[in-house]
Structure 1
Amino acid sequence: MTPARAATFARIALGHVTREYPHKPDHIMAGDTDAYLPREIHPIFFGSFDWHSCVHGYWLLARIQRLYPDIEEVAAIAALFANAFTADKVERERAYLDRPGARTFERPYGWAWLMMLQSELEIAGSPHATTLRPLCDAFAQLWRVHLPMLSYPVRAGTHANTAFALILADRYARVCGDGRMQTLMAERANQWFGADRAAQAWEPGGEDFLSPTLMEALAMQRLLPPDAFASWFSGFLPVLASGTPETLLTPARVSDRSDGRIAHLDGLNLTRAWAMRELARTTGGHVRDVLEASAREHLAVALDEVAGDYMGEHWLASFAMLALTGLD
């Protein structure tokens, strides 16, 4: 990714993470007097359309700050972080989890993105990593408790997708040395997905921004030993070398980018490109060629749609960053 594109992404994220949007759908009302004042309840992640979009907007900015330290926008990122990441604000974010019913708040999508943000700050050696850690520790513990209780994985192509959360949480566990979490996730992934064969890839759904098929494959790539993954993947997508399932390899068409849910399909094209590139790294021969070619096609139709309409602009740059720079 070029520094110019990184600067564009930074300007997009800086414009949205501090912009309050009136619709906050995941707030839990405990009574008639339970007013929702975003800056009071979420003093760090109050902006963008929703809490999780603000979190991964911060992740995007942290990654740009680390990978592109010479661009002009880094000064604004540093000022934002200095103002946002204070012990008091982190504690107020954490205290929200003490509310009745908060165990389902942002589960698991927001949890996983918060762990990704923590891992990015840790890799950069940022002093803000220490400040944010109590909030991340709270979500990591919720995740460890939740995993054994989840009898069946959520295979939707939207926020609840279990495999996507496993992928992001695995990156956090690797960076932060959380072997207990890694072991637990590997066990659960094997139980949920280990017997899956010949994926039909009946996708996309009309509101997907994640590929259930590719997220499952990427989670297994992250959590299985290389030889075990190679064996599993050959049975999971056995005819991939022949260009099938075609539905998986054909970019999605977006009919209305002003519709927030239909606009999800731009995200699907970006996350497919990201997953295909990651999977191609550990495959060979014609399978790798098919994945790389399809990733290029998906990027070509989605990359220039990151900015334009607010319904996509407040979140798509994060997934474009994953597609262009990879998970690690």
Structure 2
Amino acid sequence: MAMSQTHELDLHTAEKFARIALSHVELEYPHKPGFVFGSRDDVRSPRETHPVFFGSYDWHSCVHGYWMLARLLNRFADLPAAPEIRELFERRLTSDAIAREVALFERPESRGFERPYGWGWLLKLAAELEVMEERRFADILRPLSRLVAGGFQEFLPLASYPVRVGTHFNTAFAIRLAADYGTAINDQTLVDLLRATAVRWYGEDRDCPAWGEPSGDDFLSSALTEAECMRRLLPIEAFAGWFSRFLPRLAERRPATLFSPASVSDRSDGKIAHLDGLNLSRAWCFRSLAVALAVNDPRHTVLQAAANRHLAASLPHVAGDYMGEHWLASFAVLALEA
């Protein structure tokens, strides 16, 4: 996929990404289920189980496919795919369908369903719908978004420890996305809980070695995602001190492992294809963190250059094989919009 050297999201690229998502958010198979069956009655087709988010291979990928479509619709008034996106939302985002999604979450066996990754993305989608011209879609989603926000409020006080892996269970990524929702609906209680949790989990971290990065299944950088979470939730002065302690040799491009884009040997393998997502999510973090620094701070240039290298490594591979195609564009938009 051709991109400008500045790696910015333009109308041409947005249209390509929108077409990718429109091609799979209603594609029922292949499908990977992610919940516990309580009885034989729970064995149903994806479309019957998830009346809205049944496509895109799995529930969470479908959710962030919808997020990306909403984001592109908000971002580009002249997006050629806009009528199809609106028609999709009219068809799928209905009160009855969302009520059935809520019912799935309310099953006793679903207590941990999509926690925390899918929870974070659902709230990210809700935040984007809040600023759409068609505000009724946010209203329609609200029973589910409130339920998921309530899940965070119940779960976070019980979570004694963070999860620092580079996959779906990473807690920093989820609460980072949830913070956008809390801000969008002006839920200060939720934002305060997310901030207090981040400080409790990560506030004392020092001199991060990033020694486990990358592993063969990563699509998130444990180190950079934690830093981006803290950037989003801390006051700027508090973040500046924490960041200097967390990555004290960043200006020297240390730890070195963070600055080398991951090599992807087989994009038809779903796990190995995660590494394209690692490159894109690192780029998102690098660019977001750079914004928190003064332009004359040497770390600013280091972070921007690292972002560009990671984008160049994986933007050309957003489409091509379904193992990446069903989700990578969302991460590309995160990075390009940072």
TM-score scaled to structure 2, two decimals? 0.95
SS in 1 for 2:261: coil
Equivalent-residue separation in structure 1 for 2:116 and 2:240 (angstroms):
27
The within-5 A match list for 1:38-77 is 38-77=46-85
Equivalent-residue separation in structure 2 for 1:23 and 1:318 (angstroms):
19
Equivalent-residue separation in structure 1 for 2:246 and 2:86 (angstroms):
44
SS in 2 for 1:57: helix
Equivalent-residue separation in structure 2 for 1:21 and 1:198 (angstroms):
44
The within-5 A match list for 1:68-107 is 68-107=76-115
Equivalent-residue separation in structure 1 for 2:298 and 2:202 (angstroms):
24
2:305 equivalent in structure 1: 293
2:164 aligned with 1:155: yes
2:147 equivalent in structure 1: 138
| Residue deviations 1:202-238 (CA, integer Å, cap 9, x gap) | 2111110000000100111111111111000000000
2:320 aligned with 1:308: yes
Counterpart selection for 2:23 from 1, 12, 15: 15
Equivalent-residue separation in structure 1 for 2:75 and 2:215 (angstroms):
34
Once the two structures are TM-superposed, the CA of residue 145 in structure 1 deviates from its matched residue by 0.5
Once the two structures are TM-superposed, the CA of residue 48 in structure 1 deviates from its matched residue by 1.0
Once the two structures are TM-superposed, the CA of residue 283 in structure 1 deviates from its matched residue by 1.5
Once the two structures are TM-superposed, the CA of residue 97 in structure 1 deviates from its matched residue by 1.2
AA aligned opposite 1:299: L
| Residue deviations 1:82-127 (CA, integer Å, cap 9, x gap) | 0011110110111111212111000011111010001001012422
1:117 equivalent in structure 2: 125
SS in 1 for 2:164: coil
Q: How many residues align?
A: 326
Compare 279-288 and 293-302 and name the one that shifted more: 279-288
Once the two structures are TM-superposed, the CA of residue 188 in structure 1 deviates from its matched residue by 1.1
The within-5 A match list for 1:224-243 is 224-243=234-253
1:324 equivalent in structure 2: 336
Structure 2: runs of 5+ lacking an equivalent: 1-8
Once the two structures are TM-superposed, the CA of residue 243 in structure 1 deviates from its matched residue by 1.2
The within-5 A match list for 1:163-312 is 163-202=172-211, 203-284=213-294, 285-312=297-324
AA aligned opposite 2:276: D
Once the two structures are TM-superposed, the CA of residue 14 in structure 1 deviates from its matched residue by 0.3
Alpha-carbon contact 2:221-2:282 (below 8 Å) kept? yes
| Residue deviations 1:127-158 (CA, integer Å, cap 9, x gap) | 21111111100000001100001000000000
AA aligned opposite 1:166: I
Displaced runs of 4 or more, over 3 A:
none
AA aligned opposite 1:318: S
Once the two structures are TM-superposed, the CA of residue 23 in structure 1 deviates from its matched residue by 3.2
Equivalent-residue separation in structure 1 for 2:100 and 2:139 (angstroms):
16
TM-score scaled to structure 1, two decimals? 0.98
| Residue deviations 1:38-62 (CA, integer Å, cap 9, x gap) | 1122111011110000000000100
CA RMSD of aligned residues (A): 0.9
Structure 1: runs of 5+ lacking an equivalent: none
AA aligned opposite 2:105: L
Once the two structures are TM-superposed, the CA of residue 24 in structure 1 deviates from its matched residue by 2.5
Instruction: State the percentage of identical aligned residues.
Output: 54
AA aligned opposite 1:309: D
Once the two structures are TM-superposed, the CA of residue 36 in structure 1 deviates from its matched residue by 2.2
Equivalent-residue separation in structure 2 for 1:47 and 1:23 (angstroms):
7
2:3 equivalent in structure 1: none
Once the two structures are TM-superposed, the CA of residue 25 in structure 1 deviates from its matched residue by 3.0
Equivalent-residue separation in structure 2 for 1:200 and 1:27 (angstroms):
35
Alpha-carbon contact 1:21-1:50 (below 8 Å) kept? no
Equivalent-residue separation in structure 1 for 2:324 and 2:279 (angstroms):
13
Alpha-carbon contact 2:60-2:114 (below 8 Å) kept? yes
Once the two structures are TM-superposed, the CA of residue 182 in structure 1 deviates from its matched residue by 0.8
Alpha-carbon contact 2:228-2:288 (below 8 Å) kept? yes
| Residue deviations 1:183-215 (CA, integer Å, cap 9, x gap) | 111111111111100000121111100000001
Alpha-carbon contact 2:221-2:281 (below 8 Å) kept? yes
Once the two structures are TM-superposed, the CA of residue 31 in structure 1 deviates from its matched residue by 1.8
SS in 2 for 1:262: coil
AA aligned opposite 1:279: L
Equivalent-residue separation in structure 1 for 2:154 and 2:12 (angstroms):
42
2:6 equivalent in structure 1: none
Equivalent-residue separation in structure 2 for 1:70 and 1:77 (angstroms):
12
